[in-house]
């Protein structure tokens, strides 16, 4: 499955969302001291193993960069994604 849907920042709920085939994966965050602090990522079981989580992380981190902000990955999924993709390491202080 190719994930072509767009990650969107749902600022009202403080989370990034990626909806595919009616299911939504989310990366929750808090705003602290001008940083986007990723606290939890949830990918429904029906989406597991299809690249949805990685697409969500990439879209969220691309948005952090576009906003000129820094990220603090308290969520283990986002932290692991950054370690696997060092081109995002500059977003972490």
| pLDDT tens, residue by residue, 33-91 | 989 999 999 999 988 898 999 999 999 999 999 999 999 999 999 999 999 999 999 99
Does pTM top 0.75 for this prediction?
Answer: yes
| pLDDT tens, residue by residue, 6-24 | 999 999 999 999 998 889 9
For residue 34, with 0-12 CB atoms within 10 Å meaning exposed, 13-18 middle and 19 or more buried, which class applies?
Answer: exposed
Q: Which residue has the tokens 């060092």?
A: 86
pLDDT for the residue numbered 73: 97
pLDDT for the residue numbered 1: 41
Distant-in-sequence, close-in-space partners of 47: CB < 8 Å, separation ≥ 6:
20, 23, 25, 53
Answer whether residue 32 shows pLDDT above 90: yes
pLDDT for the residue numbered 16: 98
For the chain, count helices (H), then strands (E): 2, 5
């Amino acid at each position: 499955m190719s994930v072509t849907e767009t990650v969107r920042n749902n600022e009202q709920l403080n989370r990034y969302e990626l909806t595919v085939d009616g299911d939504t994966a989310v990366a929750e965050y808090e705003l602290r001291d001008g940083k986007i602090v990723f606290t939890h990522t949830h990918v429904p079981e029906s989406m597991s193993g299809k690249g949805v989580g990685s697409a969500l992380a990439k879209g969220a981190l691309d948005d952090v960069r576009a906003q000129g902000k820094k990220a603090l990955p308290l969520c283990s999924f986002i932290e692991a994604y950054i370690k696997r993709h060092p081109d995002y390491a500059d977003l972490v202080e």
